[in-house]
Structure formats: structure tokens, C-alpha cells
Amino acid sequence: MAKFATIILAVLYGLAMYRFSAWRMGRQLDRNSTELADPALKLLVGRMAETLDLPAVRVQIFEIEQINGLAAPDGRIFITRGFIRKYRAGEVSSDELASVIAHELGHVALGHSRRRMIVFTGQNAFRTALILALGRFLPFPPVLRWLSGHLVNLLTSLFTAKLSRNDEFEADAYAAALLVKAGIGTEPQTSLLRKLDSLSQAGSQTSPAWFLSHPSANRRIQAIEKLAGRWDEGRGRG
């Protein structure tokens, strides 16, 4: 009974930590963001909103230099100032930035923030249960407790990274469908992915692929092009 109570407490702790993290992120975004005002981008965002039968899609600029887009836990969409600077410099087109916004809309529409909350809380419960199980079958010298703790962290990290990569593929597929329906197409999506490493200077990423939270750009491009090819075939048969 005490072991179940420990697991329940771990779930509640994970839930509380996620809620606190989401609240803290929301506060940071509120303090450091401004409304997107670029006419060309607003026109493209308006086309996507119309496609989704929404009155508007609100996009804000997060005032950090990192090259990124994000969907806040409360559903708001943000593009970083670093991305906007690349756009102003002509390194990123308005259509390519629209593809980032479409991707983040995918995260919102598919409920990925909610899924991450469930995963985060479940991860704490899994970690606690596994440590308890290992404790029953392994002796308790400090070195073995240390090794079992690292084994649990390794397993949970692999699991979380795998789920995150799946979320990225799903958001890419949603974005591809939205961009096609809005008359923008998938070409800006794939062209941006091809230049993303050089834009963010992340091309020297050396972590093993199974630990990365995002799939490689090449795998994402292949998945998008496969989808686009399937849609083209369907239109040709129609």
C-alpha cells in the first residue's frame, strides 16, 4: 500500500511541476513578446485561419535570438525574434515562416501539450515504480543504487525522446495538409528544413538520434514529400 502511495505522490508531484513550468513559461512569454505586425506574414496567417474556419490566428514574436517557433501550453503561437531577423535579412521567406506557424498550429490542434503533460506525470510514476522494483531485486550498496537510478533515467529519456519525435512528424503532417489547402504548398516547409541547421548553427549536433527530441531534417523532409506525392497521385486519379 505504501508503495502505491509513493507512486501516486510521484504522479501528483509531476503534475504540479508541469503546471508550474507552464505557468512560468506563460509569464515569461507575456513579459517578452509582441504582436506580429508584418503585413505579408499576417496575410498568410489570415489565409490559414480562413482555411481552418477560424476568425483569426494570433501570432506573437518572442523576444529571444534563438531560431525557433513554439506553441505555448495555453495554445498561443510564437515565432522568435531570431527567426524574424532571418526573415528581414532575406534568409527566410514569408512562406517559410508561415510553414513554421502551420507546424505550431499542428501541435495545438493535435493536443501535444496535453500529451506532454500526461507523459511528464507518467514518467515520474514510471521512474518511481521502476526504482522500487529494482530495489526489490538488487542489493542496496550505494554504487548499485546509483547505477539503477541512471538506468531508470536512461529508459525514461529514450521513451520521452521517441514520443517527442512522433509529435514532430504529426505536426509536420498537419502543417503540410494546412499549407496545401491554404494554397501555399509544402515546398516552403521542406526548403526551410533544408536550411534549418545552417540557420540555427546546429549542424554539429552529435547526440545519438534516439536521444534527440526532434527527428533529423532529412527524415522530416522525406515524410513530407511522401505525403505530398501521395496527395498528387490521389488528385491525378481523381
Burial of 225 (0-12, 13-18, 19+ CB in 10 A): middle
Position 15 in a domain: no
- The whole-angstrom separation of Cα 213 and Cα 203 is 15
Handedness of CA 151, 153, 156, 161 (dihedral sign): negative
pLDDT value of position 12:
65
- The whole-angstrom separation of Cα 41 and Cα 97 is 8
> Do you know the residue count of the chain?
238
Position 40 in a domain: yes
The SS3 of residue 237 is: helix
Position 185 in a domain: yes
pLDDT value of position 158:
73
Position 5 in a domain: no
The SS3 of residue 79 is: strand
The domain of 61 spans 30-118+160-237
Q: How many domains does the chain have?
A: 1
Q: At what angle do helices 217-237 and 187-200 cross, to 10 degrees?
A: 170
Q: Report the predicted TM-score, pTM, of the whole model to 2 decimal places.
A: 0.76
Would you say 46 and 56 are in contact if contact means Cβ atoms under 8 Å apart? yes
Position 108 in a domain: yes
pLDDT value of position 28:
75
Position 114 in a domain: yes
Residues contacting 99, CB < 8 A, separation 6+: 175, 179, 184, 188, 189, 192
Position 153 in a domain: no
pLDDT value of position 209:
47
pLDDT tens, the chain, 238 aa long: 555 665 566 666 666 666 666 677 677 777 889 999 999 999 999 999 999 999 999 999 999 998 999 888 778 899 999 999 999 999 999 999 999 999 999 999 998 877 776 666 666 666 666 666 656 655 555 555 556 566 666 766 776 777 788 899 999 999 999 999 999 999 999 999 999 878 766 444 444 444 456 788 899 999 999 999 898 776 766 5
Name the β-bridge partners of 34.
61
Cell 482555411 found at = 51
The SS3 of residue 29 is: helix
